[in-house]
Amino acid sequence: MNKIALVTGATSGIGEACARKLAVNGYNMIITGRRAERLDAIAQELSALGVGVITLEFDVRDREAAAAALESLPPEWQEIDVLVNNAGGAWGLEPEYEGNYEDWDTMIDTNIKGLLTMTRLIVPGMVKRDRGHVVNIGSVAGDAAYAGGNVYCATKSAVKALSDGLRIDVAHTKVRVTNIKPGLVETNFSVTRFHGDKERADGVYKGIQPLTGADIAECVAFAVNAPEHVQVAELLVLATHQASGSVIHRS
């Protein structure tokens, strides 16, 4: 049986691109997300590539649902080789002292606690089998805060710390841990951040050619396909005219 990769948040953006790239690379895919119809549509396309595909519909914020979904996998699908913790996002861009409580909870519960849940459910099996790879989708926002980023930046700083901590915890095994830190990527990210305001979201990418989900998927594939003795611990990926989370040159 081919190696198995599980990608969370696979219904769009970086997650969908990662699922497609890994499938092209021959991985059997477990794709998860909250939209069943979208998962099914992507599964049909991936199956056409000749790989096995299973869809799991759940929200990573729901720990019990996540556990039940993984327990429902056939035994031969439970030995997951690659976990891509992609599910996450940003909500709101207000100053910290004017932030929305619900937005804060959503970011913390998804970006941090959801990642922890998936790690806790899957990595013990990797440690037992002495093989596996965890790829966390972090962000340049985890390196330094930017205006309005406050809580989102804090969650991505947590992703960096959790990635580093896990890498230490599994150093006695062959399990590898990679933190991919994208800069400006044109996906539904900004539409979500601005609660559906497409015009405002489009303004984020004006005057610069941003990265795409496919660009980040290439980085994920590079890390997981590296030789067994090579661990790509961290990878910062920026658009050419972006220097940091807050320095962007627009034409």
Positions marked catalytic: 152
Rounded Cα distance, 120 and 109, in Å: 15
Do residues 85 and 122 lie in contact, with contact meaning Cβ atoms separated by under 8 Å?
Answer: no
Helix (H) or strand (E) holding 53: strand 53-57
Strands 4-7 and 234-237: unpaired
Do residues 139 and 115 lie in contact, with contact meaning Cβ atoms separated by under 8 Å?
Answer: no
Rounded Cα distance, 215 and 232, in Å: 17
List of residues 6+ apart from 169 with CB closer than 8 A: none
